[in-house]
Amino acid sequence: MVIKNINLETVCGITSTLPENDKPEIAFAGKSNVGKSSLINALMNRKSYARTSQTPGKTQTINFYNINDQLYLVDLPGYGYAKVSQREKEQWGTLIERYLHQSKQLKVVFLLIDIRHEPGEHDKLMYSWVTDQGYHPVIIATKLDKLKRSQVDKHMKMVKQGLNLIPGTKIIPFSAVTKQGRDEIWQLAETEFLGLDEEEQDGAKLKK
């Protein structure tokens, strides 16, 4: 995907009305501090367009990034941050679930899981939410650069088993440091979920 223009077009909080977009949406979900903003910046080929923070729970809204006026990258609030009140957790959960249920343009959800650790209860719950809404999420195993190469296969298996993935579910290892996995994520999104052929991928143009 050739990134020509980016615009943070819509920011939706807990009480906001979700936009009725007319372009395909690709959503990203994951627990706080799993690397969502870093992944989105890598996909947009920008260093800091999506805000990154060492403080978990920073993303409290749904952010819609308009890419080339052709599609949206949708950044969902991080979940599972312990220092957030139970009421806030429930509100964020309701916001995410409302988006998954109401969006008419959502094509795929990329669920980010820290490859270093076994998926937690919040990860399993999010996976269930996404599948219950009829989507087949793609798993992005983040923080790949934190592992030795010899550890990767073992940890990939741990993620698969921890989530009890539906057979055939794709899982892509990703590093925000080396950008490994970036091209694979775009290729998958373009060919399987956005319906682009090779010529349109090169020109970053959607099929009419």
The region of weakest confidence among 6-20, 27-41, 136-150, 183-197 is 183-197
pLDDT > 90 in the chain, percent: 66
Would you list the domain boundaries of the chain? 6-193
User: Cβ distance 116 to 146 under 8 Å?
Assistant: yes
pLDDT at 206: 37
Looking up tokens 């980016």, which residue turns up? 6
Task: With a cut of 90, say whether residue 22 has pLDDT above it.
Answer: yes
pLDDT at 52: 53
Q: Where are the beta strands (DSSP E) in the chain?
A: 6-12, 25-30, 62-67, 71-75, 106-114, 138-142, 171-173
Q: What is the CATH number of domain 6-193?
A: 3.40.50.300
pLDDT at 58: 52
pLDDT at 141: 98
SS3 content of the chain, % helix, strand, coil (to 5): 35, 20, 45
55 vs 87: which has the higher pLDDT = 87
pLDDT at 84: 59
> For residue 26, how many other CB atoms are within 10 A of its CB?
24
Task: With a cut of 70, say whether residue 131 has pLDDT above it.
Answer: yes
Give the pTM: 0.88
Distance of CA 139 to the CA centre of its chain: 9
157 vs 83: which has the higher pLDDT = 157
SS3 49: coil
